[in-house]
Amino acid sequence: MQNIKYLILLITILLIASATISFSQNKINRSKLYSDFALKKSRQEYKNELNEKIKSVFGKELSSSNEDEWKSLFREVGLYYYRTG
């Protein structure tokens, strides 16, 4: 009798746990997923801005007054995995 009560309790706990886990998960509505950067137009605009910044910064001589500008450019280029051509 004790084993049956234990078994029923165990099954009940497992059912509650599995129901809680499955009902608590957020369902993703794929039709509402959206990212500005993922749009081809936005990527192209960003790449054009980055190219202009490269031309601007590389046109200047590196000095202590514009060191942060150079660091920022290298960080952006590294993040974008920039490739010529």
Q: Model pTM? A: 0.48
Q: pLDDT, tens digit, for every residue of 24-80? A: 566 666 677 667 667 778 888 888 998 899 899 888 888 888 889 988 888 888 877
> How far is Cα 48 from Cα 81, in angstroms, rounded to an integer?
14
String of DSSP letters for 12-31 = HHHHHHHHHHHHHSPPP-GG
String of DSSP letters for 46-62 = HHHHHHHHHHHHHTSPP
Residues 6+ apart with CB under 8 A from 70: 57, 62
Q: pLDDT, tens digit, for every residue of 12-32? A: 988 888 777 666 566 666 677
**pLDDT for the residue numbered 3:** 84
> How far is Cα 39 from Cα 50, in angstroms, rounded to an integer?
17
